[in-house]
Amino acid sequence: MTLSRALKVALTVALLVVVGAFVIQAFPAVAGVDYSFTVQSGSMEPAIQTGSVVFVEDVPAERVEEGDVITFSDDGGNLITHRVIEKHAADSSVRFVTKGDANENPDHEPVYRDDLVGVVAFSIPLIGYVVAFGNTTLGYVALVLVPVVLLILNELWELWKAGTRGEENV
């Protein structure tokens, strides 16, 4: 394989990874989950790093157990992803005590059933940075327009080379 061919293959694979990250983040059902969120802080490090995308499955509160990592809405409407360290269930109510892995103390307020978004099924490190960059003008140009233009130019170059080879054989 020539260096030129290897570079084309590497660039194509990189483009597919970036496009795949956008698709799976934008359409989490493709990955078999209900939601995807970008992690904005380091409260769950090292298990889930800042900039990761977490993929969250909608799960009934009764199925959530201690040790599960959940995403929930706080009083201000912010989404938080922390680990359940205690579960308290009564006849018709369930509440969780949560804590970020990197935090020393549990969260101040318990998480109630209505605040639960779901359980984190898996996460992909660093992809959130790529997604955030791709949502900027520069990111769109760098991750979408430039690769498309390069692909078109490459195809035109290949057609031109094939045309010149054909003329030499006449």
Q: Among all chains, which residue has been given the structure tokens 């579960």? A: 87
* Token reading at 109: 């307020």
CA distance 43 to 149: 40
Contact 79, 72 (CB under 8 A): yes
> Which residues are known to be catalytic?
43, 82, 107
How many CB atoms are located within 10 Å of the residue 52 CB?
23
Q: Which residues contact 81 (CB under 8 A, 6 or more apart)?
A: 37, 39, 44, 48, 54, 56, 69, 70, 71, 120
For 33, 36, 39, 84, 158, the CA distances from 120, given in Å and listed in that order, are: 9, 9, 12, 11, 46
Torsion of CA 79, 94, 44, 105, to 10 degrees: 110
